[in-house]
Amino acid sequence: DGRPQAKHPTDDLVDFTRIHINKLPTVVIIGRPNVGKSALFNRLIRRREALVYNTPTDHVTRDIREGVAKLGNLRFKVLDSAGLEAEASSGSVLRRTAEMTGNVLSRSQLALFLVDARDGLQPMDLDVGKWLRKNAPGMKTIVVMNKAESLDDYDGSLASAVGEAYTLGFGDPIALSAETGLGMVELHETLRPLLEEYVLQNINDDESQENDSSEDMECKLPLQLAIVGRPNVGKSTLLNTILQEDRVLVGPEAGLTRDSIRAEFEYQGRTIYLVDTAGWLERTKQDKGPASLSIVQSRKHLMRAHIIALVLDAEEIAKARRSMKHVEVVIARRAVEEGRGLVVIVNKMDLLRGEENSKLYKRVIEAVPAEIQTVIPQVTGIPVVFVSALEGKGRIAVMRQVVETYEKWCLRLPTARLNRWLRKVMSRHSWKDQAAQPKIKYFTQVKARPPTFIAFMSGKTQLSETDLRFLTRSLKEDFDLGGIPVRILQRTVE
Ligand code: GDP
Ligand code: GDP
């Protein structure tokens, strides 16, 4: 299916685990005393270490704590500010505490403004709001109604608390409970785009620091390879050929490769892990019913591998009208959808020996690349290798393709180079009229493995699906990215 590649709303744009702690965005928790700031802080950092700064004020000792929060796939620095206390007489926020908290504000990109959902808004909350607006104008602030576990939709208590919190003027509030964990998913959903944007913006600022060493590093990580295919296509035999030793049990019975095989080997100075493939497609061997059960289970395995080598049987291709069985098509598509690199291996070529000039042989050689292109139109140039594992041939051919595909999968293109490329590509292409030309402010690669790009669009313009296809195709051609899924996403900038 030719699904457009920009439609991955659940895709993470940013891998927060790879960001250095000093570059993580900072979120400050703010609010009057007793709203549950510490409770939320503790939940966010879980059992991790917190740095504590002692900040003695006139009456009490207030701590400002700093820790690294983990919320789903998000990671950010979190600061638990000193509580902002109002002076009873003047109604203004206590100066000493406010100063401390002011320092904290200046180090943060985002504020979580906590209120107590059960108590309802207090005058002091309004003071905190005023203070925040004055001391951190323009700071993105999210009102968090804590202690919401006892409120519910039915008696209207939640709705009225939301309505009240809304009057603080910081946009839609979210309800959660730091104590029970209720609402943490909503917090995650709210924070994700904001934190991602911050990180992406910073990547762009760091453009000048880009160098080749970080690219090399990523590609030197061990390559995780999965060899998959229907029973009896010769996976175990191929594995032995690749490992060059008889470690895997090979037999004529379908589904003999039951046990987990996890091997590690070196190929041209590179470490390769063979990930478990046991049970992958074996369940479908009776060809009864849909393959979906094992496909669902295989998803987890697919995600463990960087490169998927899908093995097909040449003899079966020669016999059949279609070169790929349904389950093979599903696996190939799934591999690409999950962002894995794909290499197709046609095994048992020895069985067609002596027929090199025949129509049949020619059909096998031509059918597979053509068919894989048809069923996976979104990824062009998927490599196809023809081997005979039984004769011990194919190690080099297979591994060369696997490593090449992995290197493309890891590729990182510097932003400056990409934008030079973009200007060329845009001038090369002619749009029907000037107005139809998409206005891309800049173009950057946000991650590798697989290569993922973001087009920052100016104003309200959007890339159409045709534009996206055009850009994807150009990227693949100009940077030789055949065989790997390339994703382009778009963001609007003011
Ligand atoms: P802080 O002064 O804003 O840091 O507030 P604390 O985190 O010390 O919490 C004040 C009180 O509220 C404590 O007794 C907490 O146990 C309680 N509390 C915090 N979060 C929740 C919550 O989600 N639900 C309920 N019911 N109580 C909470
Ligand atoms: P698996 O179930 O995919 O792991 O397949 P196996 O590696 O167990 O192989 C199944 C059968 O195919 C065995 O009888 C192998 O000897 C045979 N086989 C594997 N590779 C080749 C090959 O390249 N040529 C031929 N003729 N037979 C092969």
Q: Would you call 155 exposed, middle or buried from its count of C-beta atoms within 10 A (0-12, 13-18, 19+)?
A: exposed
User: Which carries the bigger pLDDT value, residue 164 or residue 217?
Assistant: 164
d(CA 329, ligand 2 centre) in Å: 21
Q: Residue 235 Cα, ligand 2 centroid: separation in angstroms?
A: 7
Nearest Cα to Cα of residue 223 among 310, 301, 305: 305
What phi-psi label fits residue 35: left (phi over 0), alpha (psi between -120 and 50 degrees) or beta?
A: alpha
Question: Ligand 2 pocket test: which of 247, 274, 390 has the largest number of ligand atoms within 8 Å of its C-beta?
Answer: 390
| % of the chain at pLDDT higher than 70 | 76
The single-letter code of the amino acid at 422 is: L
The Cβ-side half-sphere exposure at 35, using a 13 Å CA radius, reads 30
Choose among 490, 425, 481, 429: nearest CA to 454. Answer: 490
Closest CA to 276 of 239, 245, 329: 239
Amino acid identity, position 267:
Y
Please enumerate in sequence order all residues whose Cβ is within 8 A of that of 339, keeping only pairs 6 or more positions apart, or say none.
Answer: 449, 450, 485, 487
The mean pLDDT value for 230-249 works out to 76
For residue 159, the model assigns a pLDDT of: 82
Centre of ligand 2 to C-alpha 236, Å, is 7
Q: How far is the CA of 114 from the centre of ligand 1 (A)?
A: 11
Query: Ligand 2 test: best mutation among 230, 250, 253, 349, most atoms within 8 Å of CB?
Result: 250
pTM confidence score: 0.57
Q: How far apart are CA 174 and CA 70, in angstroms?
A: 19
* Poorest-pLDDT segment among 56-65, 287-296, 482-491: 287-296
CA-nearest of 164, 166, 88 to 127 is 88
Question: Residues, the chain, total?
Answer: 494
Q: Is the pLDDT assigned to residue 257 strictly greater than 60?
A: no
Interval 155-207: pLDDT, tens: 778 888 888 999 999 988 999 999 999 999 889 989 988 898 888 777 654 44
ipTM higher than 0.90?
no
Residues with CB under 6 A from ligand 1: 31, 33-39, 83, 146-147, 149, 177-179
Per the rule left: phi > 0, alpha: psi between -120 and 50, beta: everything else, 224 is beta
| Mean model confidence pLDDT for the chain | 79
Highest-pLDDT range among 46-60, 100-114, 163-177, 473-487: 163-177
pLDDT of res. 494: 63
- Which ligand 2 atom lies nearest to the CA of residue 240? 7
Q: Which residues line ligand 2 (CB under 6 A)?
A: 229, 231-237, 250-252, 256-257, 347-348, 350-351, 388-390
- pLDDT for 460 equals 73
* Ligand 2 mutation pick, 237, 249, 313, 393, max ligand atoms within 8 A of CB: 237
381: left (phi over 0), alpha (psi -120 to 50) or beta: left
For residue 18, give the nearest of 446, 406, 414, 443 by alpha carbon: 446
Calculate how far, in angstroms, residue 36's C-alpha sits from the geometric centre of ligand 1: 4
Tell how far the Cα of 112 is from the centroid of ligand 2, in angstroms. Answer: 60
Q: How far is the CA of 455 from the centre of ligand 2 (A)?
A: 47
Give the pair of three-digit tokens for residue 487. 């994703």
Ligand 2, atom 2, lies closest to the CA of 232
Which bound ligand lies closest to the C-alpha atom of 114? 1
Q: State in Å: Cα 145 to ligand 1 middle.
A: 12
SS3 string, the chain, reads CCCCCCCCCCCCCCCHHHCCHHHCCEEEEECCCCCCHHHHHHHHHCCCCCEEEEEECCCCEEEEEEEEEEECCEEEEEEECCCCCECCCCCCECHHHHHHHHHHHHCCCEEEEEEECCCCCCHHHHHHHHHHHHHCCCCEEEEEEECHHHCCCCCCHHHHHHHHHHCCCCCCCEECCCCCCCCHHHHHHHHHHHHHHHHHHHHHHHHHHCCHHHHHHHHHCCEEEEEECCCCCCHHHHHHHHHCCCCCCCCCCCCCCCCCCCEEEEECCEEEEECCCCCCCHHHCCCCCCCHHHHHHHHHHHHHCCEEEEEEEHHHHHHCCCCCCHHHHHHHHHHHHCCCEEEEEEECHHHHCCCCCCHHHHHHHHHHHHHHHHHCCCCCCCCEEECCCCCCCCHHHHHHHHHHHHHHHHCCCCHHHHHHHHHHHHHHCCCCCHHHCCCEEEEEEEECCCCEEEEEEECCCCCCHHHHHHHHHHHHHHCCCCCCCCEEEEEEEC
Alpha carbon distance 159, 175 (integer Å): 10
Which residue puts its alpha carbon closest to atom 13 of ligand 2?
252
Question: For the segment 479-489, what is each residue's pLDDT rounded down to a tens digit?
Answer: 988 888 898 98
Bridge pairing between strands 110-116 and 140-146: parallel
Average pLDDT over residues 357-367: 83
Query: Of 45-49, 321-325, 344-348, where does mean pLDDT reach its minimum?
Result: 45-49
Rounded to whole angstroms, how far apart are CA atoms 245 and 467? 49
The two tokens of residue 443 are 């173009």
Residue 153 reports pLDDT greater than 80: no
